[in-house]
Amino acid sequence: MRDKIIFGAGIFAALYFIRNLYVILLQLPDEAMQGAVYRIFFFHLPPYFAAVFCFLGAAIASGMYLKTKRWHYDVFAVSATEVGLALAAINLVTGMIWGRQQWGIWWTWDARLTSALITWLIYLGYLMLREGIKDPSERAKNSAVLSIFAFFAVYFTYKANEWYRTQHPGPVLTIRTGKNTIDPAMQAMLFHNLFAFLLLTVVLVAVRMRLEDSQRAVESLRRRAHAVA
Protein backbone atom coordinates (compact mmCIF):
# COMPACT_ATOMS: atom_id res chain seq x y z
CA MET A 1 0.00 0.00 0.00
CA ARG A 2 2.79 2.42 0.99
CA ASP A 3 4.60 1.64 -2.30
CA LYS A 4 1.49 2.45 -4.29
CA ILE A 5 1.06 5.81 -2.53
CA ILE A 6 4.72 6.73 -3.16
CA PHE A 7 4.44 5.64 -6.80
CA GLY A 8 1.17 7.57 -7.25
CA ALA A 9 2.64 10.71 -5.69
CA GLY A 10 5.71 10.38 -7.97
CA ILE A 11 3.52 10.13 -11.09
CA PHE A 12 1.44 13.10 -9.93
CA ALA A 13 4.60 15.16 -9.30
CA ALA A 14 5.94 14.27 -12.78
CA LEU A 15 2.66 15.30 -14.47
CA TYR A 16 2.57 18.50 -12.44
CA PHE A 17 6.13 19.35 -13.55
CA ILE A 18 5.16 18.76 -17.20
CA ARG A 19 2.17 21.09 -16.79
CA ASN A 20 4.37 23.70 -15.08
CA LEU A 21 7.06 23.51 -17.79
CA TYR A 22 4.38 24.08 -20.44
CA VAL A 23 3.16 27.21 -18.64
CA ILE A 24 6.69 28.48 -17.84
CA LEU A 25 7.98 28.10 -21.39
CA LEU A 26 4.92 28.91 -23.48
CA GLN A 27 2.36 30.90 -21.51
CA LEU A 28 4.05 33.20 -19.00
CA PRO A 29 4.68 36.84 -19.95
CA ASP A 30 8.25 37.81 -20.79
CA GLU A 31 10.44 39.80 -18.45
CA ALA A 32 11.37 43.16 -19.99
CA MET A 33 15.10 43.27 -19.14
CA GLN A 34 16.31 39.68 -18.84
CA GLY A 35 14.77 37.85 -21.79
CA ALA A 36 14.26 34.09 -21.45
CA VAL A 37 16.84 33.62 -18.68
CA TYR A 38 14.48 34.91 -15.96
CA ARG A 39 12.64 31.56 -16.27
CA ILE A 40 15.53 29.94 -14.36
CA PHE A 41 13.94 31.63 -11.32
CA PHE A 42 11.18 28.95 -11.30
CA PHE A 43 13.87 26.30 -10.77
CA HIS A 44 15.91 28.42 -8.35
CA LEU A 45 13.52 29.65 -5.64
CA PRO A 46 11.14 26.62 -5.30
CA PRO A 47 13.99 24.09 -4.71
CA TYR A 48 15.42 26.48 -2.10
CA PHE A 49 12.13 26.59 -0.17
CA ALA A 50 11.72 22.81 -0.51
CA ALA A 51 15.26 22.43 0.90
CA VAL A 52 14.37 24.78 3.79
CA PHE A 53 11.36 22.56 4.60
CA CYS A 54 13.67 19.51 4.51
CA PHE A 55 16.21 21.10 6.87
CA LEU A 56 13.46 22.35 9.19
CA GLY A 57 11.90 18.86 9.24
CA ALA A 58 15.34 17.36 9.94
CA ALA A 59 15.95 19.79 12.84
CA ILE A 60 12.53 19.04 14.39
CA ALA A 61 13.00 15.27 13.94
CA SER A 62 16.48 15.56 15.48
CA GLY A 63 15.04 17.32 18.52
CA MET A 64 12.38 14.62 18.79
CA TYR A 65 15.08 11.95 18.55
CA LEU A 66 17.08 13.52 21.39
CA LYS A 67 13.91 13.61 23.49
CA THR A 68 12.47 10.16 22.73
CA LYS A 69 15.47 8.14 21.35
CA ARG A 70 13.14 6.63 18.75
CA TRP A 71 15.02 5.52 15.61
CA HIS A 72 12.28 6.62 13.29
CA TYR A 73 13.10 10.29 13.94
CA ASP A 74 16.77 9.72 13.13
CA VAL A 75 15.81 7.92 9.89
CA PHE A 76 13.60 10.87 8.91
CA ALA A 77 16.31 13.43 9.82
CA VAL A 78 19.02 11.86 7.67
CA SER A 79 16.63 11.27 4.75
CA ALA A 80 15.28 14.82 4.78
CA THR A 81 18.81 16.25 5.07
CA GLU A 82 20.10 14.30 2.08
CA VAL A 83 17.14 15.28 -0.13
CA GLY A 84 17.48 18.89 1.09
CA LEU A 85 21.14 18.85 0.08
CA ALA A 86 20.23 17.79 -3.49
CA LEU A 87 17.58 20.54 -3.68
CA ALA A 88 19.98 23.15 -2.27
CA ALA A 89 22.53 22.07 -4.93
CA ILE A 90 19.92 22.86 -7.62
CA ASN A 91 19.40 26.29 -6.00
CA LEU A 92 23.15 27.03 -5.99
CA VAL A 93 23.85 25.81 -9.53
CA THR A 94 20.85 27.52 -11.18
CA GLY A 95 21.76 30.73 -9.31
CA MET A 96 25.32 30.55 -10.64
CA ILE A 97 24.09 30.10 -14.23
CA TRP A 98 21.70 33.04 -13.89
CA GLY A 99 24.48 35.13 -12.30
CA ARG A 100 26.88 34.31 -15.14
CA GLN A 101 24.42 35.71 -17.64
CA GLN A 102 23.12 38.70 -15.63
CA TRP A 103 26.21 39.78 -13.68
CA GLY A 104 28.91 38.39 -15.98
CA ILE A 105 30.36 36.28 -13.12
CA TRP A 106 29.68 32.76 -11.86
CA TRP A 107 30.11 33.66 -8.20
CA THR A 108 30.59 36.53 -5.77
CA TRP A 109 31.33 36.32 -2.07
CA ASP A 110 28.36 38.36 -0.90
CA ALA A 111 26.46 37.51 2.31
CA ARG A 112 23.59 35.60 0.66
CA LEU A 113 25.65 33.44 -1.69
CA THR A 114 28.38 32.77 0.87
CA SER A 115 25.93 31.80 3.63
CA ALA A 116 24.03 29.55 1.18
CA LEU A 117 27.27 27.78 0.28
CA ILE A 118 28.35 27.47 3.94
CA THR A 119 24.91 26.06 4.83
CA TRP A 120 25.28 23.48 2.04
CA LEU A 121 28.76 22.54 3.31
CA ILE A 122 27.49 22.22 6.91
CA TYR A 123 24.81 19.74 5.81
CA LEU A 124 27.37 17.89 3.69
CA GLY A 125 29.44 17.74 6.90
CA TYR A 126 26.39 16.27 8.66
CA LEU A 127 26.33 13.36 6.20
CA MET A 128 30.12 12.92 6.49
CA LEU A 129 29.87 12.93 10.29
CA ARG A 130 27.34 10.08 10.09
CA GLU A 131 29.69 8.08 7.87
CA GLY A 132 32.47 8.55 10.41
CA ILE A 133 30.66 7.22 13.51
CA LYS A 134 30.08 3.46 13.64
CA ASP A 135 28.01 3.20 16.83
CA PRO A 136 24.36 3.83 15.73
CA SER A 137 23.21 5.59 18.91
CA GLU A 138 26.32 7.83 19.07
CA ARG A 139 25.87 8.59 15.37
CA ALA A 140 22.21 9.52 15.83
CA LYS A 141 22.90 11.65 18.93
CA ASN A 142 25.82 13.64 17.50
CA SER A 143 24.19 14.22 14.13
CA ALA A 144 20.93 15.31 15.82
CA VAL A 145 22.80 18.02 17.74
CA LEU A 146 24.54 19.16 14.53
CA SER A 147 21.25 19.21 12.61
CA ILE A 148 19.60 21.48 15.19
CA PHE A 149 22.51 23.96 15.21
CA ALA A 150 22.83 23.81 11.39
CA PHE A 151 19.34 25.23 11.04
CA PHE A 152 20.61 28.59 12.33
CA ALA A 153 22.67 28.78 9.10
CA VAL A 154 19.48 28.21 7.08
CA TYR A 155 17.77 31.08 8.91
CA PHE A 156 20.83 33.32 8.44
CA THR A 157 20.81 32.60 4.69
CA TYR A 158 17.09 33.42 4.51
CA LYS A 159 17.61 36.77 6.22
CA ALA A 160 21.04 37.63 4.73
CA ASN A 161 19.73 39.85 1.93
CA GLU A 162 17.66 41.87 4.45
CA TRP A 163 20.48 42.24 6.98
CA TYR A 164 23.26 43.03 4.47
CA ARG A 165 23.54 44.87 1.18
CA THR A 166 24.04 42.00 -1.23
CA GLN A 167 24.48 41.62 -4.96
CA HIS A 168 21.79 38.94 -4.75
CA PRO A 169 18.34 40.42 -5.58
CA GLY A 170 16.14 41.26 -2.59
CA PRO A 171 12.85 39.55 -1.71
CA VAL A 172 10.24 39.66 -4.50
CA LEU A 173 7.27 37.67 -3.19
CA THR A 174 4.29 39.76 -2.06
CA ILE A 175 4.15 37.86 1.26
CA ARG A 176 7.62 39.23 2.09
CA THR A 177 7.54 42.68 0.54
CA GLY A 178 3.87 43.55 1.12
CA LYS A 179 3.88 45.18 -2.33
CA ASN A 180 3.23 44.07 -5.92
CA THR A 181 6.89 43.60 -6.84
CA ILE A 182 6.25 40.68 -9.19
CA ASP A 183 3.73 39.93 -11.94
CA PRO A 184 0.82 37.94 -10.36
CA ALA A 185 1.08 35.23 -13.06
CA MET A 186 4.81 34.77 -12.34
CA GLN A 187 4.20 34.65 -8.59
CA ALA A 188 1.41 32.08 -9.03
CA MET A 189 3.77 29.97 -11.16
CA LEU A 190 6.39 30.10 -8.41
CA PHE A 191 3.89 28.61 -5.97
CA HIS A 192 2.80 25.97 -8.51
CA ASN A 193 6.40 24.87 -8.99
CA LEU A 194 6.99 24.98 -5.24
CA PHE A 195 4.07 22.58 -4.83
CA ALA A 196 5.56 20.27 -7.49
CA PHE A 197 8.97 20.36 -5.75
CA LEU A 198 7.36 19.69 -2.35
CA LEU A 199 5.51 16.70 -3.80
CA LEU A 200 8.74 15.39 -5.30
CA THR A 201 10.47 16.01 -1.96
CA VAL A 202 7.90 13.87 -0.13
CA VAL A 203 8.47 11.04 -2.64
CA LEU A 204 12.29 11.28 -2.42
CA VAL A 205 12.28 11.43 1.39
CA ALA A 206 9.95 8.38 1.54
CA VAL A 207 12.24 6.43 -0.82
CA ARG A 208 15.34 7.50 1.13
CA MET A 209 13.71 6.50 4.44
CA ARG A 210 13.05 3.05 3.02
CA LEU A 211 16.73 2.80 2.03
CA GLU A 212 17.79 3.79 5.53
CA ASP A 213 15.51 1.11 7.01
CA SER A 214 17.05 -1.46 4.64
CA GLN A 215 20.54 -0.26 5.60
CA ARG A 216 19.70 -0.88 9.27
CA ALA A 217 18.43 -4.36 8.34
CA VAL A 218 21.82 -5.01 6.67
CA GLU A 219 23.67 -3.88 9.81
CA SER A 220 21.52 -6.18 11.96
CA LEU A 221 22.10 -9.15 9.59
CA ARG A 222 25.85 -8.43 9.62
CA ARG A 223 25.88 -8.56 13.43
CA ARG A 224 24.04 -11.91 13.33
CA ALA A 225 26.46 -13.22 10.69
CA HIS A 226 29.42 -12.20 12.90
CA ALA A 227 27.84 -13.93 15.90
CA VAL A 228 27.34 -17.14 13.90
CA ALA A 229 30.88 -17.10 12.37
Pick the closer one to another protein by CB: 1 or 32: 32
- What's the residue count for the chain? 229
* Residue 43 makes contact with another protein by CB under 8 A: yes
The stretch among 40-48, 64-72, 113-121, 173-181 that binds another protein (CB under 8 A) is: 40-48
Per-residue DSSP letters for 148-216?
HHHHHHHHHHHHHHHHS--SS----SHHHHSS--S-HHHHHHHHHHHHHHHHHHHHHHHHHHHHHHHHH
Q: How far out from the chain centre does Cα 79 lie?
A: 11
* Contact present, 154 and 52 (Cβ < 8 Å): yes
Report the candidate in 90, 151, 142, 96 with the shortest Cα–Cα distance to residue 122.
Answer: 151
* Residue 93 makes contact with another protein by CB under 8 A: yes
* Residue 89 makes contact with another protein by CB under 8 A: yes
The stretch among 62-70, 98-106, 140-148, 163-171 that binds another protein (CB under 8 A) is: 98-106
DSSP class of 42: G
Pick the closer one to another protein by CB: 46 or 57: 46
DSSP class of 23: I
| Minimum gap (Å) between residue 91 Cβ and another protein | 9
* Residue 215 makes contact with another protein by CB under 8 A: yes
**Spatial CB neighbours of 212, under 8 Å, sequence gap ≥ 6:** 75, 78, 79
- Per CB under 8 A, the list member of 44, 112, 130, 192 interacting with another protein is 44
First to last CA, the chain: 37
* Residue 114 makes contact with another protein by CB under 8 A: no
Pick the closer one to another protein by CB: 173 or 209: 209
| Minimum gap (Å) between residue 222 Cβ and another protein | 6
* Residue 221 makes contact with another protein by CB under 8 A: yes
In degrees, rounded to 5, the angle at the alpha carbon of residue 118 between the alpha carbons of residues 116 and 124 is 105
- Site residues (vs another protein, CB under 8 A): 25-26, 30-31, 34-40, 43-44, 47, 83, 86, 89-90, 93-94, 97-98, 100-101, 200, 204, 207-208, 210-211, 214-215, 217-218, 221-222, 224-225, 228-229
